[in-house]
Structure 1
């Protein structure tokens, strides 16, 4: 009996052990999981802002304006005689000139020598005849002189090489260098097709390119410290019937030009003639013939004014290598970068009476 009980106990122990092993599950392997993140919640590093690159300063400047350019200017200056008779206004292409000289031609009529270099318009005019002081000024600029007609005694010297030139009398209405317009009567209707002047010059073995000596221009710092009296309106009275005026535009820092109260503007585009500098020189004028042609002294120097950025100041002018240059206290007066208009007026009445400003 005791043996039987012992056997039963052993059997129960084995049975319980077997049941215990079957009830156990295999342990599940730990699975590696990537942590879930909220990209918006992450603290993002601030992006580094790139500073805008400064535009490099142009390597070259135009000699008549001081305006920068990426290419060296080698094309020759074109000096064109522009008509200013009231029947010739408004002119075409005048507003594109870098520098303009205004001299009296005959009687109470002025005429322009317009210097084109940085911008060569397709058409300019009306083009008029030559005078000695315009020729000398063009020569001093090493320019190609473009005109239409001249007195016989001048034409002899011009053909002998006084200055490299193209005379519209020899190309009259050829439709390549000169053309006549029907909406005006001669002599106020001759126009130059200006870009073609270089090709015609080459045909005549004249230089199309030239080394240039620049006028003196202000730095940015100097422009901020211009001195002088206020001059937002400048008036020049050559005669009772020849009145030139300039009105200052402070926003653009330029002067708009007027002839006899009429704005100087382009015939086709109506773009106004606006300049950064006005030079006014007084010098001797003398009538030399019954046609009221003049001798004008370009050599002796004299008094004048320089007008820029709403200011006017007295200067003296001197002849430097043939050019009328402004001086202050013995030093060349610098120009503001941009276009320049030069008014040359007689000693009588002179700048004290002929020029007013406010």
Structure 2
């Protein structure tokens, strides 16, 4: 009994200590974090596409890609032409025409058929810097292009493995296809192009839309063999292209269209290979929104952009969208046909 009596206080003390420990343990539990809402990612800031004048979401820090595109009947329909920001049409041998197409805001996976360069092409592409793709050319013309401030990408040259192929859908030499997006991806370190034309601000009309002569059709004559035309489509607010008396279509069968058609009257130096003279100034027609205004084109050096100015020297404003630049010889013609 003595032993039992002595143990009772010890048991009571232990019980009290354990109880206090449990209370302390409960009071020392870490606070649970209060859930917080994860902020939504900020949308990309809108930027202005320098070769199209449209506002786009995201980055356009990559270079422009220019390519020499075939316009022989055997090369049509071309691949990717409808997605170009700018297309230049120029006179070549035999009275035919070829294109220099420029992509930046929308680079297709493939473009073509790619053909050889001509002596005026360095003057056309130098203001864009970036890349120029072609299938070769006479040595003196290649040297001129290599001296221009652009990266030359030539079919069959070292370092172009995997970029060019030949399609079975067309006969050589009208079948060289370029993997355009891959090429631009290989040169992502090059700078984006500068703005080339003036565009109407949001809500403001383009110059030709506001005060131009009503235009139902634009008839152009490059030579006895080439006479493209553009017809105004008010429902779609674009000009639709035809050549050789037939609708001119893309690879999907849709008619080629342009928001702006800029016609430059240019001297052409005759020879085995004609050369469009693009350094200087001359008459121009700017067609937008179903209207056409007269203007003057000015380009003082190969690296200068082409300026379009009115009689007061004020820049003519294009509408946001793609533009075709028609380099019509002064020996040819350009006629505005009313609706």
TM bin, normalised by shorter chain, reads 0.7 to 0.9
Kindly indicate whether the alpha-carbon contact (under 8 Å) linking 1:172 and 1:178 is maintained by their aligned counterparts in 2: no
Distance 1:246 1:319 in 2: 25
Q: Deviations over 1:301-352 (max 9, x none)?
A: 0011010111111111111652222111211111101010000111114x4x
Q: Which residue of 2 aligns with 1:181?
A: 167
Matches within 5 A, 1:53-72: 59-72=46-59
Look up the SS of the partner of 2:169 in the other structure: coil
- In structure 2, relative to structure 1, the CA distance for the partners of 1:196 and 1:253 (3 Å cut) is same
- Given the alignment of the two structures, is residue 120 of structure 1 paired with residue 100 of structure 2, yes or no? no
Distance 1:108 1:211 in 2: 32
Instruction: Identify which of 216, 220, 225 aligns with 1:241.
Output: 225
Q: Which residue of 1 aligns with 2:322?
A: 339
Kindly indicate whether the alpha-carbon contact (under 8 Å) linking 2:89 and 2:325 is maintained by their aligned counterparts in 1: yes
Instruction: Identify which of 190, 193, 197 aligns with 1:215.
Output: 197
Distance 1:165 1:337 in 2: 29
Give the alignment's TM-score, normalised by structure 1.
0.75
- Count of residue correspondences: 291
Kindly indicate whether the alpha-carbon contact (under 8 Å) linking 1:318 and 1:326 is maintained by their aligned counterparts in 2: yes
Residue 143 of structure 1 deviates from its aligned partner by: 2.9
Distance 1:242 1:251 in 2: 28
Kindly indicate whether the alpha-carbon contact (under 8 Å) linking 1:216 and 1:334 is maintained by their aligned counterparts in 2: yes
Q: Deviations over 1:273-317 (max 9, x none)?
A: 2111111111110123xxx21222111200110101111111111
Give the alignment's TM-score, normalised by structure 2.
0.79
Distance 1:216 1:57 in 2: 25
Q: Which residue of 2 aligns with 1:11?
A: none
Q: Which residue of 2 aligns with 1:262?
A: 246
* Unaligned stretches of 5+ residues in structure 1: 1-55
Distance 1:357 1:210 in 2: 38
Look up the SS of the partner of 1:221 in the other structure: coil
- In structure 2, relative to structure 1, the CA distance for the partners of 1:188 and 1:282 (3 Å cut) is same
Larger-Rg structure:
1
Residue 248 of structure 1 deviates from its aligned partner by: 1.0
Distance 1:57 1:227 in 2: 36
* Unaligned stretches of 5+ residues in structure 2: 1-42
- In structure 2, relative to structure 1, the CA distance for the partners of 1:172 and 1:246 (3 Å cut) is farther
Distance 1:156 1:188 in 2: 23
Distance 1:141 1:216 in 2: 15
Kindly indicate whether the alpha-carbon contact (under 8 Å) linking 2:129 and 2:193 is maintained by their aligned counterparts in 1: no
- In structure 2, relative to structure 1, the CA distance for the partners of 1:261 and 1:173 (3 Å cut) is farther
Kindly indicate whether the alpha-carbon contact (under 8 Å) linking 1:173 and 1:180 is maintained by their aligned counterparts in 2: no
Residue 211 of structure 1 deviates from its aligned partner by: 5.6
Residue 169 of structure 1 deviates from its aligned partner by: 2.9
Distance 1:69 1:153 in 2: 40
- Given the alignment of the two structures, is residue 300 of structure 1 paired with residue 300 of structure 2, yes or no? no
